[in-house]
């Protein structure tokens, strides 16, 4: 029969080895935790709405790149020097062009056309843009891009689609000032629209990694106002057209 001293030695050995086992298990747990955190990456932000806090994220090349269908017809020297040229530069940037396509499908910076096969027919079938696009951006966990959003997110009506895609400076200038093709707006109401409309303003604060227009909103409004003050004059014109004259005939081509 073991003596009390022998029993004490055995008990002490058991305690010591138990400590070693616990220490090893804790060490393994720490290693596994570090590996899992490294694999998962940064903790995703919780689902939320509105613009992310802090400075805007750096624009990723794939988001800043213009899709292949964002073609801009070459400008003549006369067009490039016109009052409308800086306005045109903004209107054919993705932030404006995406919602002013030639067809019925909105465009996308990266995919070219809107995903999910969305078009004006979707709206006619009872699936409005507001199904996914709220009045503010929606962030997705772990993703820099969720569904964008702003008040009255939609394409222009089919009757006056306000096409910007593949329009030359001259073609877009004459289209924009024509009430029959611009939603029955005057030059003054167009200026008010680009100055105050929340959907227009969203373009300069789109969130995520979306590219912004090539100039500030203040500079854009100033350029737009200068064009309006000149009567909406377009390249090749010696003076602005008489507002009371007969409506302009739409151009048959998109070239300069």
pLDDT in tens, 138-174: 887 777 678 899 999 999 999 999 999 999 999 999 9
pLDDT at res. 78: 96
What distance in Å separates the CA atoms of residue 118 and residue 33, rounded to the nearest whole number? 43
Residue 249 lies in a domain: no
Residue 47 lies in a domain: no
Phi, psi dihedral angles at 48 (to 5 degrees) = -160, -175
Query: Which residues span the domain enclosing 115?
Result: 59-229
pLDDT digits (tens, 9 = 90+) for 219-243: 999 999 999 999 999 999 999 888 7
Model-level pTM greater than 0.95?
Answer: no
Residue 139 lies in a domain: yes
Q: What is the mean pLDDT of residues 49-66?
A: 40
Residue 131 lies in a domain: yes
What distance in Å separates the CA atoms of residue 151 and residue 154, rounded to the nearest whole number? 9
Say how many domains are in the chain. 1
163 CB neighbour count, 10 Å cutoff: 18
Residue 246 lies in a domain: no
16 CB neighbour count, 10 Å cutoff: 10
């Amino acid at each position: 029969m073991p003596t009390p001293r022998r029993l004490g030695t055995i008990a002490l050995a058991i305690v010591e080895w138990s400590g070693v086992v616990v220490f090893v298990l804790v060490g393994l747990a720490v290693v596994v935790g570090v590996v899992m955190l490294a694999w998962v990456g940064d903790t995703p932000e919780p689902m939320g709405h509105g613009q992310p806090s802090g400075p805007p994220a750096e624009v990723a090349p794939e988001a800043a790149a213009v899709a292949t269908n964002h073609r801009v017809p070459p400008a003549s020297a006369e067009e490039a020097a016109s009052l409308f040229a800086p306005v045109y530069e903004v209107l054919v940037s993705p932030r404006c062009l995406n919602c002013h396509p030639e067809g019925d499908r909105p465009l996308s910076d990266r995919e070219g056309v809107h995903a999910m096969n969305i078009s004006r027919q979707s709206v006619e079938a009872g699936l409005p843009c507001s199904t996914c696009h709220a009045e503010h951006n929606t962030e997705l966990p772990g993703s820099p891009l969720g569904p964008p959003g702003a008040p009255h997110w939609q394409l222009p009506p089919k009757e006056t689609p306000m096409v910007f895609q593949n329009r030359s400076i001259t073609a877009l200038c004459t289209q924009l000032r024509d009430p029959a093709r611009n939603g029955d707006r005057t030059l003054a109401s167009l200026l008010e629209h680009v100055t105050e409309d929340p959907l227009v303003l969203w373009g300069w604060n789109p969130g995520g990694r979306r590219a912004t227009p090539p100039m500030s909103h203040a500079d854009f409004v100033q350029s737009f106002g200068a064009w309006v003050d000149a009567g909406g004059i377009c390249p090749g014109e010696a003076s602005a057209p008489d507002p009371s004259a007969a409506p302009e005939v739409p151009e048959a081509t998109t070239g300069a």
